[in-house]
Structures are given as structure tokens and as C-alpha cells.
Homo-oligomer: A and B are copies of this chain.
Amino acid sequence: MDQRNATNRPGAKHVALLAGVSTATVSRALNSPGAVDPATLQRVRDAVAQLRYVPHGAARSLRSQRSRMVGAIVPSFDYALYAKTTSALQQHLSAQGYSVVLAEHHYDLEQELHVARQLVEHGVDAFMLVGIDHDPRLFDLLDEHRRPFVLTWGVDTTGRHPYIGFDNRAAAQEVARHVISLGHERIGIVSAPVEGNDRGRERLAGFRAAIAQAGLKEPQVEHARIALHDAAAAMKKLLARKPRPTAVLATNDVLAVGAMMACRAAGISIPDDVAITGIDNTDLGATQTPGLTSVRTPIVEIGEAAAEQLVALIEGRGEARSRVMEFELVVRDSARRRLRRKDG
């Protein structure tokens, strides 16, 4: 008999036949090689190799209630931020035989719920989500379907859900303090939209806190979508103000670079006329002229830790353990000590 099944794929049956064992043994040889006699194990392995047998994932999932797939739901893959986290996740999972199923929601929590449902249906075992704030129905969904998950890129101060991230507010506060320590007093802010974006909200709050603590007056805040041209437009508004801010804080590097573009277009010198800072320490910012002062955030580390955590949860070893990671101010030349001028 050399018949194949409908898909023309050799199945465990064929391997069993060729190795002279039962399908049960084939399954054991693949999944718990320790529990099978070395000699038969070898025969099975030979048969597998000869037939180039590839187990049928769907059948395995159906039977074992485990798909060995992890869902990664991120806001966006633009600008390499979450893409890098996902990449780290993927590499670590792939090494353990898991695959990553991707979804983006473009900062729309309704959409996030929708794609999460799609992934649950596709049978992913666990989820990496970005941020702390999500539609309550999303948590219900995951709960109902017993899907472990980990929130990333933030800290859940309510302690309700497991997370792996860092304190966005503190990170923002740290750059802001740095800028203030350089003598800046009129500060503008370019902020990402904060709706459904706790990272952005926390960062903005961190800026505000530092400014308030220093006793400076309320900053002007311009919101922009996370795109260079939107950020440039927001910066233009800040620059139109008289007197102009001497420093502009952006809630991330992309916005900061957009702000830099606006300055260049307007012939305004960085950092002499205006200081600019970002957050996340991306290559985009680091390679600007002048280099963007920023905060290094644990972009890659988050993905690695998430992979480790999720596999542990899926395989039933260990509890969900939240982790707070470090960040680090990276000083470059886009923000310097404020020059006293006639307009200052």
C-alpha cells in the first residue's frame, strides 16, 4: 500500500506501516521519545525521514487542544518599534517550535477586539498585547477561552493583569527633567494621540509632572498622529507661538524627528533656537543631525521576556510574573543648555 490521503500527504498511518509499528507509537516517538524503545524510535525516525512526514498541525491541535501558535497584537508595524519587539518574540518562540500570528489594530481598540477574536478562532494558544488599556470585552474573551496573555510596554498599576514593560511616565519625566536642568523654562510638547494609548498618555503625564514640579508654567501641547508629517505640522504650531518655546518634548522619537523636520523647514536651529527630545532611542532619532536626545526603552527585551513567559504559561509551568524593566536617558546633541537671548 502506497496510498496517500486526500491531501496526498503521508500521515502517521503511513509512517507506522513503514516502521512496522502502530500510529500510537509514531505519536509517542514524536512527542515523548523517552517513552519509546531506542530501536523502535530509530525505525520510526527513519520512516519519518524517508516519507518526509510532516505532522498535521490542525489534527494535532484539535486533539491536544494546543496549537503551538502565539498571537501578537500590536498597534502598528511602522517605525520598527513594535516590529522589533515582535521580531524578538518570534525568534524566541520559533526556537521552541512555536509560531507567531500577527495582527495590527492601528490604535483602534475596537479593531483590536476584532482581530483578537479572529486569532482566538484561529486557535492561538496565548497572546502578547501591547499596552495596558484594552476593551474590557477583550479580557472577557481571553478569559472565557482560557487564553493566557501578557500586556507589554507598560505597567499595570491596578495589578489586574500580568505585564512586562516599563514605567512610561517615569521615562518621560526623566527626559523632561534633563531638559529643565539645562535651563529651559518655556516648554512645548508634541504628543501622540492618547485615546486608547496608555503609553502616550503616561508619557504626556510624565512631561507635565516634571514641568509642574519645576514650577514652570503649563506647557502648550500639540497632538499628532505618529507620522512624520503630522508631527511636523504640530511642531509648526508650536513654533508659531510668541514667545516660542525654547524646548519641545515629544512622546516618542518619530514625533521628535517630525518636529526636527519642521525646524529645518523653518530655518530654526536645533539646539540653539530650540531643544528637542524624543523617547525610545530609535535609529531614526539617533542618526539625525544633531543626534536626538532620547530614552532607551527595552524594546527587544520585552519581546524576549514575553516569549519566555508565554511559553511557560502555555505549558503550564509557572505563574504569570509581571516585570518592570529599566530605561535609560541617552543624551545627544538635540538638547543643550539654553542660550540667553534677547527674546529670552
A residues lining the B interface (CB < 8 Å): 6-9, 52, 54-59, 61-62, 65, 67-69, 72, 76-80, 83-84, 86-87, 90-91, 94, 97, 99-104, 115, 117-123, 144-146, 228, 257, 260-261, 264, 283-284, 287-289
Contact = CB atoms under 8 A, between A and B. Distances in A.
Nearest to A86: B77
A119 B100 CA distance: 10
Nearest to A120: B54
Contact of A287 (B87, B94, B288): B288
Given A87-B76, A288-B288, A62 B52 contact: no
B67 A122 contact: yes
Contacts of A76: 87
A145 B9 contact: yes
A260 B69 CA distance: 41
Contacts of A104: 87, 90-91, 94
Given A58-B123, A76-B87, 10 more contacts: A9-B145, A56-B123, A62-B62, A80-B80, A87-B104, A91-B104, A97-B118, A100-B103, A257-B283, A261-B287
A283 B55 CA distance: 43
A260 B7 CA distance: 53
Contact of A101 (B6, B99, B289): B99
A134 B55 CA distance: 23
A130 B284 CA distance: 24
Contacts of A264: 289
A101 B103 contact: no
Contacts of A77: 77, 80, 83-84, 86-87, 90
A101 B103 CA distance: 9
B69 A122 contact: yes
